[in-house]
Amino acid sequence: MAQPALPLAERVVLVTGAARRVGAVLAASFHAAGARLAVHYRGSQAEAEALVARLNALRPDSARAFQADLADAGACEALPARVVRAFGRLDVLVNNASTFYATPVGSITPDQFDDLVGSNLRAPLFLAQAAAAELAKRDGLILNIADIHGIRPLGKHAVYCAAKAALVMLTRSLARELGPAIRVNAVAPGPVLWPENGVDAKLRERIVSRTALKRAGTPEDVAKAALFFATDAPFVTGEVLAVDGGRLIGGEDR
């Protein structure tokens, strides 16, 4: 008996910042749904190549790694075209690459501003612009990985929060401008993966206690929401889905 076709069979998905953490889980989840994967990385070459090797072991010639520094506008412009040359098409752009760190007011530098706004807003905008013509041929999808702290602020992170808030508005603006050919949506994770520089155990407990579900989520929760937009939401655009266990309706962040 023939196996049912996978929902993203033969589709090509570009995930930025895909070598590690949430990005790697997103890439693996789209691949499991049948997609061919363009795995973008900036400096994590070993991790990206290892992920590509694992995906190709599951389905030969289904994944490739692409290095680019998305702080360079020229690299943003060139990356979608590189993916199209390699795979012959591009159906989904996932803007996942991000920087995150504290910037207490009084200590914010122009370089910090440029870095946080550059990765969280500027790169997604110029990648979307560069990919739009190809995505329009495919009834394509742009999926931005936002953050609930683009909706409600996080203390001492004014620049990051402002950049993610702008990404939320960019999502809605692009949805209006690029429709009907392209859908544009966002996933806004809450506490699903703690920062690599560590979070105090008591702070983790306090954050989790302020979710409605009283637990942290996982990168897989984010990936399931992303797949919903890619496979089961053809009449949904301009939406931002919080994947936060109800954190947005919880108490204050400090």
User: Which residues are annotated as catalytic?
Assistant: 160
Q: Please provide the DSSP assignment of 162-200 as one string.
A: HHHHHHHHHHHHHHHHHTTT-EEEEEEE-SSS--TT---
Q: Are strands 63-67 and 92-95 parallel, antiparallel or unpaired?
A: unpaired
Q: Would you call 51 exposed, middle or buried from its count of C-beta atoms within 10 A (0-12, 13-18, 19+)? A: buried
Residue pair 185/143 in contact by the 8 Å Cβ criterion: yes
The CA distances from residue 87 to 11, 13, 126, in Å, are 10, 10, 21
Side chain identity, residue 124: P
Distance CA 123, CA 75 (A): 9
Find, among 157, 132, 148, 142, the residue nearest to 192 by Cα.
148
The CA distances from residue 231 to 25, 35, 50, 164, 238, in Å, are 17, 11, 27, 25, 16
Q: Are strands 183-189 and 36-41 parallel, antiparallel or unpaired?
A: unpaired
